[in-house]
Structure 1
């Protein structure tokens, strides 16, 4: 890591905390997109992520807005310490979360926290600001119904990106066009809920006191089923989580028949970021519907 960048972040931290601490840096795992570090002082532990402004032109401003959105809508998130840009590098410093064990009580707490988030409602689907899903821009223009929101803001931009980059063919585009005409029949009618937007197993932490801490959001007001479907895409959560959630805030009947349809968007995102290995799953879902 660049020495000047380290010194700049340390200087910003000391100014923010009104201290003259020295720091130790330790690289840690933190996802496939950013470089991540544990930053250690005599009195504090921090989590730091950095990336190029070529990837995130505005730095981590959208992530900060997402974390604030979740916090304002009852979710637990890491404390935001500082966010900024130095030369061509964006950085974000967050509170370090000490992890605990994912016990039965944890999964029940997690379900209750997600229910609380989903019970925060809005009149329209969307958000006043755009953000990111992974490293791809995510438009959140407002719509009165989730079907139009999902087609215009989620599926169409990813389908166009995949076609332009030759990851899908004209036949796939035509299949999606046919699918768009049926979408209004698929989603049950509910008021927009505050959602995390990218809630897979890598985007929460079990804190030492047994609560779920939400990280890396792609947040907006959407259909709460999209969050539940996302939890099931890459391995799923504990059955204790789903049982507790459904007891507190039951989903409409036949969710399991709709589940894969919500998966189309994150699978298209993964196709556009990581490549062809996700195409077969997309084709299977399109054929199913």
Structure 2
């Protein structure tokens, strides 16, 4: 049995019976554990389990489905195992309602109380009252030293022009922050959990852009989520740039074409 499985069992005050790896753990180990007394849970490693625990609690408090935090330490997060026998194809409408509830919870400023990371890629979250400045400095310019040549200069130029492209003070919605289909659990036509959050407060369209990065939500999703502000299609490319840049740094130059495509779509 792995050290992570043993650590999870110890945090629950039980004896480990077995542990099974779960898919999706590109950046951290994830296991389903069963204790000798029959209790089951999911255990996740990673650099900041306490930070993720706070995010899950924040989403649950906002009325979004999220795994209950059973225990957390500096090395392991133990959460409830949620039903997930369905697919998102049948649950788009419920995801729209879920995301609308999440985004209805507002913060006082843009950002998050702490910084975190996706693997080796630091994600700064210093609070700000100016949304274009936050997005330009903490989501685009931070990657320029890692992106060579002309591409980096185009990102710099776009960041400088964001006051003309993004709303200065959109409602600081609670964001999931890494919302793609693999981070949505479904059972039948119901969303049972939003997992692996990277929460902060920002423009709600950021989550929508991420959700559209590798696919397209159905019309039922957008009907359930509610009307979008004018210009959202133009902003989607700007918001999609951030996950594309993170992918370049995590997984290599194969994602540079995605960055270039979003720069073209953004007119940069």
Same-fold status (TM-score > 0.5): yes
Moved more, 212-221 or 186-195: 186-195
Pairs aligned (count):
264
**Secondary structure of the residue that 1:199 maps to in structure 2?**
coil
Cα 1:220–1:22 change in 2 (3 A) is closer
Cα 1:30–1:102 change in 2 (3 A) is closer
Give the distance between the partners of 1:21 and 1:60, measured in 2 at CA: 21
Q: Could you list the per-position Cα deviations for residues 36-61 of structure 1 after superposition, in whole angstroms to 9, with x for gaps in the alignment?
A: 2211234322111234xxxx2xx412
Give the equivalent residue in structure 1 for 2:241. Answer: 264
Q: Tell me, yes or no, if the aligned pair for 1:109 and 1:212 is still in contact at 8 Å.
A: no
Cα 1:173–1:21 change in 2 (3 A) is closer
Match of 1:198 among 178, 181, 185: 178
Give the equivalent residue in structure 2 for 1:117. Answer: 102
Cα 1:183–1:113 change in 2 (3 A) is same
Give the equivalent residue in structure 2 for 1:9. Answer: 8
TM-score of the pair, normalised by structure 1:
0.83
Cα 1:11–1:184 change in 2 (3 A) is same
Match of 1:243 among 207, 211, 223: 223
Q: Could you list the per-position Cα deviations for residues 208-262 of structure 1 after superposition, in whole angstroms to 9, with x for gaps in the alignment?
A: 682341111110110000011110001233332122213xxx1112312221111
**Secondary structure of the residue that 1:37 maps to in structure 2?**
strand
Structure 2 portions without partners, runs of 5+: none
Cα 1:10–1:187 change in 2 (3 A) is same
Does residue 151 of structure 2 align to residue 172 of structure 1?
yes
Return the offset for 1:276. 0.2
Match of 1:181 among 155, 160, 163: 160
Give the distance between the partners of 2:78 and 2:248, measured in 1 at CA: 30
TM-score of the pair, normalised by structure 2:
0.89
Return the offset for 1:200. 0.6
**Secondary structure of the residue that 1:211 maps to in structure 2?**
strand
Give the equivalent residue in structure 2 for 1:17. Answer: none
**Secondary structure of the residue that 1:154 maps to in structure 2?**
helix
Give the equivalent residue in structure 2 for 1:24. Answer: 18
Structure 1 or 2, whichever has the larger Rg, is 1
Match of 2:191 among 211, 217, 227: 211
Give the distance between the partners of 1:8 and 1:128, measured in 2 at CA: 27
Give the equivalent residue in structure 2 for 1:222. Answer: 202
